Structure 1
């Protein structure tokens, strides 16, 4: 019975590839299949649905669970957790942050009729999380807080033994108590054995990351990122008949999808379809938009999963259009009493400082803390920008702002382009600014540089204000431009172009649309957001 469960829920039934897998699946869609920041993918299939999870770091709620029937169109159906309560850093208190840290590289699996999600957080206190749920839609239950295992892959063997594969193919075998939902206290006694898989060859440096362990047709497969010297990042596979080895190695993908010749597509997982064909989803770094998943056919050659088309390349039908993933990002009229799954807060939100019910059809955002910059402001709300081009527009009621309050719309990242409305006494000024954050080694904000590019007075406070950010990610341009309107029809450009940057020293993620409201003098003001719309081009 146990083996049957794994065959259905973990990897399906192994069959030789069909002509569809070899040829037809390479046609009819553009890569990246999700032209937005959805990195560190792991996937599984349960019945007719594919499920995928991703890294969201400092954004809350976190660990988005996404679902698809065709591996092309995805929708977010839940988040694994609402918030992380591991100290002031997660609450933006006293300049402390978890930018670029927090939840990383979750491992998603389905065993015994349950979903399991394992991840660890980068940064203090360096601990892990294990969640379970009967359904992908939740509710999710925190089972245990294990030790930190970098890029860990959660794996249960046919005999019920539980393993984590992490770092460069290191592994630990854990007690079976991990599955009994007792919240067992972790310690050295929880590890039954440690072992290592020999993974490096002579040209590889750094960690071989992104561990993904599977058992297919009775054989063990470990997929990892390889960082060879003087070459692009690639995906490698190790296989063995026993966890004790011997292990064999094969490069299964070594390609950079144009126009990014140095950004190899790697880190992800493979999955079978209900009809026995195989596919992989692996991501590519695309600068300002973030790390973007690509869909690849997977064919089996001599018992090895080989990714890509017949030439070993990531397929990309340039005659097709990119898919706009309206299931994971899109418009919001704020007409529900629950926040759309499109949105994530920057760090843990102050829940008493926002409401969807105090004014029906609006998201009310109240000031709750006096701060001096956007990067430590509570309750900034974000959603992904999407390539190749997108436009985000927000309609704001600013009539209840107080002296010193600041609100607006941003292309938000370590380098942010900001449309900021400042209330000065009874008058309001709109400015377009470029803001840069610097963090110390503890990821506390050490400096924020603000360069004002333009400003204009906003007449009165009774009428709504419309703010707009354009994002152009075509061919690596990564340019944000800005405009505003007082009537919702005629939009006036303001300020200058801004280069959107993927900065591994700060956010370590793609640029997001962000709506913010914070106080610099006194609490008590608020804004009402009528709607937010995303339009697409290309």
Structure 2
């Protein structure tokens, strides 16, 4: 059991299996390798081990793919119709994460992603895959869209603009990308699991075979993640939304054995679901972890971390606490970080020249209708009475379990018919903001903005409360409780000075069904109902927690 650093997972991982972790962790585990009641000091050069709490990040980042490059961990997630897509998070300890960039700078998949001739709600970036090929120092992202095509993007720096290098004529559904040496393989599928070998430049398919057919008593397996570890090939598969299974074979194309990793395992978030559909990753010291997501609606799907050890015959086993995924574990033993990660909450004054990666647009934006620098200027980009059809609506994930978004808004540039404000956005939505009519501006709280199950708008909203507006600057605030379960609410308030806030309208009950997949987001919007030409300036956005 050597602690010698090894290449990132999904490369050829030779050497130890990381069994040394079990001897350092003081809890029960569903593994013959769990041991010890006290944790020894970490090796020289590693950080002291405090406890971390699950979820490690209480924001909506689903369909997790996680890799390590040297001492740095990277995390990719689904974003569906939000643009830019496929965010990349970065961490040095698997616990504290920061935004680094996006793998898909624009949803370049058809006019509906620009809200032209249709809309792309719950389409776009589904479970996709991120990897790094060490021989060329390059990251690759691969994902399918609309069950028809797969796309490959690449970059040498995750913070730079990624480049599309290929569109492949096959939909690699819920794909997992493996570099076996330099040879790329993709595991993918739903129930019938296949493996494709791609050309070295990932621009065409070389070979494709079905390697596994899910037994009927299991039902559905999907969400593939592909690894080579100690000479064996592993395909991680989820049984949505309550199980995780593993395939293991001596070659990429099989034959594969199946083993259950977890099923109906109690999760670490009260009221939340079973951790599943994530990825395996090792630390530089050879310890292994599983980063999965937990269904936690109305907030979405949030990441939870647990240690993993390996059985004598080469299968991963989770470390459990009293028969459940632990609400806390000792932090991974890793080298000190080069700096503290950038916070996932806090203020943004939009200093420019571009938006920070914490922001994503609802569908592709019209770049001629907004500006960043000395605040965010939103010019109306759409004439509509439907928030769901308004372009240039800018979104930010809600921080759980409760958080508050506050916006400082300057509105003297609004024109008659304009609507601008701060929303909680999902398939059932509400907002506080400004309505400009007949040369006058009033403050309003609007709810009952709803979609049906096919994501068509069925209600554009009902005005529940109104208030007078003095001056051309005000502060809008929304406080949201996304603790998993029914009856959670968003509450709206406003201020003339940014200090004393007054409630407006009733509490808005958040929709907690899973079918929209994504959780609630805060959204900055400005759209016209009569004619384009108006603008507002967002001087500051602040996301705070209690």
Q: Which TM-score tier does this pair reach, normalised by the shorter chain? A: 0.7 to 0.9
1:398-413 → structure 2 map (5 Å cutoff): 398-413=411-426
| Change in 2 beyond 3 A, CA 1:101/1:503 | farther
Task: Assess, with a 3 A threshold, how the Cα gap between structure 1 residues 104 and 10 changes in structure 2: closer, same or farther.
Answer: farther
State the Cα distance separating 1:411 from its structure 2 match. 0.9
Find the counterpart in structure 2 of residue 119 from structure 1: 143
Given the alignment of the two structures, is residue 339 of structure 1 paired with residue 355 of structure 2, yes or no?
yes
Separation in 1 of the partners of 2:100 and 2:183? 29
Farther-moved stretch of structure 1 (392-401 vs 482-491): 482-491
Q: Do residues 512 (structure 1) and 534 (structure 2) align?
A: no
In the other structure, the counterpart of 2:119 is: 97
> What SS is found at the alignment partner of 1:474?
coil
Cα 1:247/1:162, change in 2 over 3 Å: closer
Aligned residues: 506
Task: Specify the SS of the correspondent of 1:90.
Answer: helix
Q: Which residue of 2 aligns with 1:447?
A: 458
- Residue 529 in structure 1 maps to residue 538 in structure 2: yes
| Pairing of 1:455-534 with structure 2 (within 5 A) | 455-459=466-470, 462-474=471-483, 476=485, 478-505=488-515, 507-534=516-543
**In 2, Cα distance between the equivalents of 1:141 and 1:160?**
20
The offset of 1:336, in angstroms, is 2.6
Preserved contact between residue 104 and residue 122 of structure 1 (Cα < 8 Å): no
Shift of 1:158: 4.2
State the SS of the aligned residue for 2:346. coil
Deviation at 1:248, TM superposition (A): 2.1
In structure 2, C-alpha distance between the alignment counterparts of 1:427 and 1:488, rounded to whole Å: 22
Q: 2:343 aligns with which of 327, 341, 346?
A: 327
Cα distance change of structure 1 residues 312 and 304 upon mapping to structure 2, 3 Å threshold: farther
Shift of 1:93: 2.5
Question: 1:409–1:419: 8 Å Cα contact kept in structure 2?
Answer: yes
Distance in 2 separating the partners of 1:194 and 1:79: 31
Give deviations 1:44-95, integer Å, cap 9, x for gaps: 101000111000111111111111000011111111122123222111234x
- Per-residue CA deviation, residues 363-410 of structure 1 (Å, 9 max, x unaligned), is 110012211211111101111101111000001001110000000001
SS in 1 for 2:126: strand
Secondary structure in 1 matching 2:62:
coil
What secondary structure sits across from 1:104 in the alignment?
coil
Return the match for 1:15 from 3, 14, 18.
Answer: 18
Matched with 2:379 is: 366
Report what 2:397 is aligned to. 384
Determine the C-alpha separation between the residues in 2 that align with 1:436 and 1:282: 32
Are 2:10 and 2:180, in contact at CA under 8 Å, matched by a contact in 1? no
C-alpha deviation, 1:291, in angstroms: 0.3
Distance 1:134 1:258, change over 3 A: closer
Structure 2 residue aligned with 1:197, among 205, 209, 212? 212
Taking a change above 3 Å as real, the CA distance of residues 7 and 341 of structure 1, as seen in their structure-2 partners, is: closer
1:284 pairs with 2:294: yes
Q: Would the alpha carbon gap of residues 472 and 438 (structure 1) be closer, same or farther in structure 2, given more than 3 Å must change?
A: closer
Give, in angstroms, the shift of residue 164 of structure 1. 3.5
Q: Deviations over 1:14-66 (max 9, x none)?
A: 23232335656997122111111000000110100011100011111111111
Which stretch has the larger CA shift, 131-140 or 39-48?
131-140
What CA deviation, in whole Å up to 9, does each residue of 1:136-188 have, x standing for no partner?
22332211111212101122334725333322352142342543xxxx5x6xx
Change (3 A) 1:10 1:67: farther
Cα distance change of structure 1 residues 22 and 122 upon mapping to structure 2, 3 Å threshold: farther
Cα distance in 1 between the residues matched to 2:279 and 2:114? 33
Residue number in structure 1 paired with 2:274: 264
Report the Cα distance in structure 1 between the residues aligned to 2:72 and 2:25, rounded to whole angstroms: 18
Q: Are 1:425 and 2:438 an aligned pair? A: yes
CA distance in 1, matches of 2:347, 2:416: 31
Using the size of structure 2 for normalisation, the TM-score is 0.86
Instruction: Quote the offset at 1:198 in angstroms.
Output: 3.5
> What is the rounded CA distance, in whole Å, between the counterparts of 2:269 and 2:184 in structure 1?
44
Q: Deviations over 1:279-311 (max 9, x none)?
A: 110000101111000011111123111123255
C-alpha RMSD over aligned residues = 2.6
Tell me the equivalent position of 1:145: 167
Over residues 100-156 of structure 1, what are the superposed CA-to-partner deviations in whole Å (9 max), with x where a residue is unaligned?
111111211122332111111246xx3211112222223322111112121011223
The equivalent residue for 1:83 is 106
Distance 1:85 1:134 in 2: 21
- Contact 1:466 1:487 (8 Å CA) reproduced: yes
Q: Is the 8 A contact 2:106 2:364 kept in 1?
A: yes
2:157: which partner in 1?
135
- Are 2:376 and 2:537, in contact at CA under 8 Å, matched by a contact in 1? yes
Are the counterparts in 2 of residues 405 and 423 from structure 1 also a CA contact under 8 Å? Answer: yes
CA distance, structure 2, for counterparts of residue 78 and residue 108 of structure 1: 13
CA 12–62 in structure 1, closer or farther in 2 if over 3 Å, else same = farther
Structure 2: segments with no counterpart, 5+ residues: 1-5, 28-38, 40-47, 332-339
Go from structure 1 to structure 2 and tell me whether the alpha carbon gap of 1:294 and 1:5 turns closer, same or farther (over 3 Å shift): closer
SS at match of 2:445: strand
Residues 502 and 509, structure 1, Cα contact 8 Å, conserved in 2: no
Tell me which moved more, 82-91 or 396-405. Answer: 82-91
| Structure 1 residue ranges without an equivalent (≥5) | none
